Amino acid sequence: MRRPLIAGNWKMYKTAAQAKELMAQLVPLIADVNVEAVVCPPFTALETVKKLIAGTKLALGAQDVYWEDEGAFTGEVSAPMLASIGCTYCIVGHSERRQYFAETNETVNKKINALLQHNLTPIVCVGESLAQREQGITRDVCRQQLEQGLAGLNKEAAAKLVIAYEPVWAIGTGQTATADQAQEVIGYLRTILAEQFGQDTAELIRIQYGGSVKPGNVAELMEKPDIDGALVGGASLKAEDFAAIIQKSCHK
Ligand code: PEP
């Protein structure tokens, strides 16, 4: 039985002071909810948010990582550094990083390995662009991202992953994939995972949907058999919306 996971990707929003305000609003709203949820603020707000989630059910995640533990890599942050500050999750391969920061399936693979080595759970993003969907190559694109991104992992490592299917055309656009569209691709991702790691392992891996998830559409998405939660961008910056998304996911 897979436990759903709701993750909030704050992207490059919120100073530490603004993060404090957002958390002060969010924490009381989800006090009684029994759903696994994680917030992923910018690096500069991790420490602040860590203190504010103490005693709550929320976990802490980062939005990116570098694969070496330490060294002359100006501007980068490593997995042991994230672990030391209390992170237990980290987003990897987000389409914005693929688009603007030269993230590739190969770098995704290195980051996944680094995170797992330090007991952090990677949230691995895959998804097609609008042009790729229109060309009818959604499945091929997602297959390549998964096969190359997860290359060389053993079953035990794979079982720890969270995958996020995020069609690029749905991110920040207000244009959510329909629940049927999301289930169709996510079901396919699970068959690829079964080919790579065996059916038993594929059944353990949580696969989220991400792309304009809102309080009004999350319940329908979560009803689908292969959808195990959501990766939420814009709506995670509004305490009431993120709390409502978490609450509406607790029936799964
Ligand atoms: C995201 O950033 O991963 C995302 C899904 O953003 P949004 O919810 O704003 O579409």
> What are 30-68's pLDDT values in tens digits?
988 889 999 999 999 999 999 999 999 899 999 999 999
Residue 89 reports pLDDT greater than 70: yes
Side-chain-facing half-sphere of 245: CA atoms under 13 Å:
33
For ligand 1, atom 8, the nearest C-alpha belongs to: 233
Helix, strand, or coil (residue 222): helix
* Cβ–ligand 1 contact at 9 (below 6 Å): yes
pLDDT greater than 90 at residue 197: yes
pLDDT at 65: 98
The residue to mutate among 171, 208, 241, having the most atoms of ligand 1 within 8 angstroms of its beta carbon, is: 171
Residues 6+ apart with CB under 8 A from 88: 38, 59, 60, 61, 119, 120, 121
- The percentage of the chain sitting over the pLDDT mark of 70, rounded to a whole number, equals 100
User: 127: pLDDT confidence band, cut at 50, 70 and 90?
Assistant: very high
Separation of CA 3 and ligand 1 centre (Å)? 21
- What distance in angstroms lies between residue 232's CA and the mean position of ligand 1's atoms? 5
Task: Please give the distance, rounded to the nearest whole angstrom, from the Cα atom of residue 25 to the centre of ligand 1.
Answer: 21
Say how far apart CA 115 and CA 90 lie, in whole Å.
8
- In angstroms, the Cα distances linking 224 to 185, 228, 249 are 12, 8, 12
